[in-house]
Amino acid sequence: MRDAPVDARLGAAKVGIPPIKTQGIKTKLVNFILANTRRVEGGRWIEPFLGSGVVMFNAASRNAIGAETNMHIINFYRAVQSGRLTPAAARRHLEVEGLNLQKRGAAHYYEVRDRFNRDFEPLDFLFLNRAGFNGLMRFNSKGKFNVPFCKKTNRFSKSYITKITNQVLWIMDSMKAHRAWEFRVSDWRETLQDVGKTDFVYLDPPYSGRSANYYDLWEEGAMRDLAEFLKCMPCRFALSLWSQNRYRKNPDLSLFKDYQIKTMRHFYHLGSTENLRNSMVEALIIKNVP
């Protein structure tokens, strides 16, 4: 069963925004997603495709697991959780690297990119994530960050650095308030192997057919494997998929025809090409009973 598309601009409460940006980030859909989830008190919130983490951070469950195959996202959030990466450290780093970027332009960006691909420093990851082309996060087959420079040498203004610093502060405070949160480097099968009836799983897998992969491959047939797994999962869940855009409809939706499906229209601002930054009808596949 499907509902008519709801406009993402309507009825939105304030949503916290994390400092890491990814393709398909769900900032505009957080209220829509959370309004359609029914959780059991005391159960865990589990995300096997964490991405930016925007849904998990706003869900603010007491117990949560955020998992990713992208180790750099997990390393970043673990660094914040452990206190190794603080808002003050983020501000200092972005001020220094932003000034160097203003002076040296692309040469400095690529120097930091090479350094990150050698050392995997979370602060460099943050800088590259906010200085790269069109907000992309992309890695090559060898696991190297390969997003080109955005060509904005003065990107890191004082106000922009303050905005990012406040986002780091927000996630740090969220982690302190919810000390049972765990961040894992694992694939979805490993993450979901021990789910229980009281857990709630939110899934936001790579969108097949939209060139949205940003770390490893989402092979043809992977969505079918996930759909089969979800049939046997003992707990409630919500799954985000794209439903349709101006060009075509998503054939993967047929895999979930036995579940409730709600839709919302919104606009993607991140993407490598203009055709990936258009109006999109987003689908939320929902199982709200065990």
Mind listing the pLDDT tens digit of every residue in the chain (290 residues)? 444 344 444 445 789 999 999 987 899 999 999 999 999 988 999 999 999 999 999 999 999 999 999 999 999 999 999 999 999 999 999 999 999 999 999 999 999 999 999 999 999 999 999 999 987 899 988 899 999 999 899 999 999 999 999 999 999 999 999 999 999 999 999 999 999 999 999 999 987 654 444 666 677 789 999 999 999 999 999 999 989 877 788 999 999 999 999 999 876 655 545 555 567 899 999 998 87
Residue 211: the pLDDT is 42
Please tell me the distance from the alpha carbon of residue 73 to that of residue 79, in angstroms, as a whole number: 10
CB contact at 8 A, 164 and 130: yes
Please tell me the distance from the alpha carbon of residue 226 to that of residue 230, in angstroms, as a whole number: 6
Residue 94: the pLDDT is 98
Classify residue 183 as exposed, middle or buried by CB count within 10 Å of its CB (0-12, 13-18, 19+). buried
Structure token digits, residue 137: 């996060």
Q: What pTM was estimated for this model as a whole?
A: 0.89
Extended strands (E) in 190-275: 200-203, 236-244, 260-267
The 3-state secondary structure of 39-96, one letter per residue: CCCCCCEEECCCCCCHHHHHHCCCCEEEEECCHHHHHHHHHHHHCCCCHHHHHHHHHH
Residue 23: the pLDDT is 83
Please tell me the distance from the alpha carbon of residue 88 to that of residue 175, in angstroms, as a whole number: 17
CB contact at 8 A, 49 and 206: yes
Please tell me the distance from the alpha carbon of residue 147 to that of residue 109, in angstroms, as a whole number: 10
From the CB of residue 13, how many other CB atoms can be counted at a distance below 10 Å? 9
Sign of the alpha-carbon dihedral angle for 20, 186, 253, 37: negative
Q: How far is CA 277 from CA 4, 267, 269, in A?
A: 22, 7, 5
Residue 164: the pLDDT is 98
Q: How far is CA 39 from CA 26, 198, 202, 238, 290, in A?
A: 19, 8, 11, 11, 10
Identify the bridge partners of residue 264 per DSSP, sorted by sequence position.
6, 282
Residue 266: the pLDDT is 78
Pairing of β 279-287 and β 236-244: antiparallel
